[in-house]
Structure 1
């Protein structure tokens, strides 16, 4: 009698394990099918993009001549900053406006850069804060009578503090 009970329990466990195995197999098969369908949808989307159905615009960049400025004096004495900047713009109107007013833009940036201290510029957070200040300064540089300039990002292409 004890042997038959053990055999029954072994059969019950075997049936349960087989059921789990079958369920796992169906799950994996379903996941593979769903993945294949999403890949087909992605392929269709990419085909639309390549035929021009989805409009993709190239980024607009304005490279500025490098700046060399004397920084505000600190404990280490007089310091210099050499910085190359490229502006990433949202639209062509911003590019045209900045091109038309390039001398005024350079002047505002020179004033902004020369007011900084070297210690604040050597860290990544200092550079991020400077980039935010550059965006704010340039968006307001021409006054309220001009169309607003839309700057997405300030890219430092060269940056030396000496």
Structure 2
């Protein structure tokens, strides 16, 4: 499947809202819920604007994984970019209809090759719940190494790290 990663823009608001709403139950099987307010369009729009403001400041990059028809298949983000330390925190998710088809692995590989070099990071951190085997495989396939485990009240998280080659 041919995919690309596009930088998030305000023009994606409606499509992204539909993607998130359509996949809510699927996402909440493997990650903590974003809460009911997230799925109300006005609240979602304000949140989106806050993300775009962060992106404009250079402290985050928000990408959409799209197919050749321009449909949103998922998201891939690098947030909390600490420029002095050269560290950023990765997040990604693909929709239920594309899960298990290699889209997340392909998207992460593309993201690392095409977008990360412009983001001035040396280390990318990621975490996933211990039972999200698919996400763990995506990270390992793309060179991330596990380094820690964190227990929270509801979920246990595995932490991964990738040293970016310059």
**TM-score calculated relative to the size of structure 2:** 0.24
Greater strand share, 1 or 2? Answer: 2
Q: Higher relative CO (CA 8 A, sep ≥ 6), structure 1 or 2?
A: 1
| Bigger Rg, structure 1 or 2 | 1
**TM-score calculated relative to the size of structure 1:** 0.24
Greater helix share, 1 or 2? Answer: 1
